[in-house]
Amino acid sequence: MFEPVYALIPAVIWAFSPIYYRVFMKRFDYLTLNLLRTSLAAAVLALPAVYFGFSPAILYGLASGVVSLTVGDSLFLLGIREMGASIAAPVVYTYVLLIQLTAPMVGEAVPLVNLVAAVMVVAGVYILSRGGGGTPRAKGIVFALAASLAWTLGQDLISVATSAGGNFVTIAFARNIAAAAGLGVAVLASGRLRKWPSGVGVKEFGFIAFIAITDLVLGSVLFIYSISLVGVALTVILTSLSPLLTQLFSRALGKEAPTRKDYAGGVLIVAALVIALSL
Q: Round to whole Å and give the CA distance between 202 and 28.
A: 16
- Taking only the tens of pLDDT, the chain with its 279 residues reads 567 788 889 999 999 999 999 999 999 999 999 999 999 999 999 999 999 999 999 999 999 999 999 999 999 999 999 888 888 887 887 777 777 778 788 787 777 887 788 888 778 877 776 655 555 577 888 898 899 999 999 989 998 999 999 999 999 999 999 999 999 999 999 998 888 887 788 899 999 999 999 999 999 999 989 988 888 878 888 887 888 888 888 888 888 877 888 888 878 877 877 777 666
Beta-carbon contacts of 143 under 8 Å, excluding residues fewer than 6 positions away, are 75, 76, 78, 79, 82, 88
Is residue 172 within 8 Å of residue 38, measured between CB atoms?
Answer: no
Give the per-residue pLDDT at 234: 81
Is residue 187 within 8 Å of residue 32, measured between CB atoms?
Answer: yes
Phi/psi region, residue 107 (left: phi>0; alpha: psi -120 to 50; beta: rest), is: left
Is residue 275 within 8 Å of residue 117, measured between CB atoms?
Answer: yes
Beta-carbon contacts of 146 under 8 Å, excluding residues fewer than 6 positions away, are 75
| Helix (H) / strand (E) containing 112 | helix 112-128
Indicate the residue type of 161: A
Provide the 3-class DSSP secondary structure of residue 177.
helix
- Closest Cα to residue 121, out of 100, 147, 146? 100
130 bridge partner residues? 136
Is residue 46 within 8 Å of residue 202, measured between CB atoms?
Answer: no
User: Structure pTM?
Assistant: 0.85
